Amino acid sequence: MHFSSVRAAAVLVLCCGFLGQFPADGAFRKSGKLRGILAAKSLTWIEVKVDGESHLRRFIPTWRGGLPKDGGHLDDYVLNKIAALRTGNRVELHWVFDDQLRLLNIRTLKPTRSRGEQRGTVYQKGDHWIDVKPENGPLQRFIPRWLGRFEEQGGGLDGDILHVIDETKVGDEVLIEWAYDDRKRIISFLDPNPPPLEPEEKETVFPPGYPYLLPPEPGEPWFPERVDSTKSTIGLPLPPAFSKPSPATPIIDNTPVNPPGPKPVPPPLPTDPFGAGPPPVNPSPVEPSPIPDNPFDVVTPPKPKAPLQENPFE
């Protein structure tokens, strides 16, 4: 009995040590949600580098049913989710703890852009990947591009990028140009601290007719004659000489203006403009019948009635 209690206490200590700072506030929890980088996976488990931690944690789908002989199995929904994941991406997962960390659901956190640049400090690296910690933001993992087709046909990861990853040290500041297909792929490593651009010397460009925009030298005219040798001036009139208005000539004419006279009266209109003469007289006038004062006083004589016909059937 004493041995069993000691064993249970040891298991509890190991579980607490396994969870450690999981979640980040240090409180022991039985379920939660977290984010991190999907570092590895198989058909039945995944390993995630949780934000704020340097080691990996393994998650296994929950068990459904009884014993395997009775039809029990891992959650098919989660297994299908695991099969669709790509390592190197950031993921968000829901977990629960019974005897170990169990995976309830997971999704890939895809970037909002297909291309971009990322500046940060190298946090960790491997043979074919590099983790970069931006100044503001979560940890990001980058992988070289795949060049060519299948590996049997000479395809493989970009050798130049692999060489740069091998030369880069943890703690170095980097600036990565990336593109996203199924993962964040490294296009090139840019200089994180480029030298400042030297200011270009601006050439002084004078506007057309520049010498004539400045005051002339003493004794020189304001508008010197410019002769174009490519054009002929034979037969052209001389331009008028430049002169100023004479102060003796008044600018405003003070001659009095006579007021306007009365308007002429237009002639009267003709009485018969077309010359048709007076209208003709009606040759057969019809005298109108007198209208009685009271139309009801007029008695109309009755019409004679037609004689009745004899009965034709008699």
Q: What is the pLDDT of residues 180-234, one digit of tens each?
A: 999 999 999 999 888 887 777 777 666 665 655 566 778 777 666 665 655 555 5
Are 83 and 43 contacting, i.e. CB atoms less than 8 angstroms apart?
A: yes
Mean of pLDDT values over 5-16: 45
- Name the percent of the chain lying above pLDDT 90: 42
Whether the pLDDT of residue 138 is over 70: the answer is yes
C-alpha to C-alpha distance for 188 and 117, rounded to whole angstroms? 10
Q: Which run of H or E residues covers position 146?
A: strand 146-147
Amino acid identity at 8: A
Confidence band for 11, pLDDT divided at 50, 70 and 90: very low
What pLDDT was estimated at residue 200? 74
Residue 199 vs residue 290, higher pLDDT: 199
Give the gyration radius of the chain's Cα atoms.
55
Confidence band for 26, pLDDT divided at 50, 70 and 90: very low
What pLDDT was estimated at residue 97? 92
Whether the pLDDT of residue 294 is over 60: the answer is yes
CA angle 188-191-192, nearest 5°? 115
What pLDDT was estimated at residue 286? 62
In the chain the domains, ranked by start, together with CATH numbers, are 14-110 (2.40.50.140), 114-193 (2.40.50)
Return the SS3 of 184.
Answer: strand
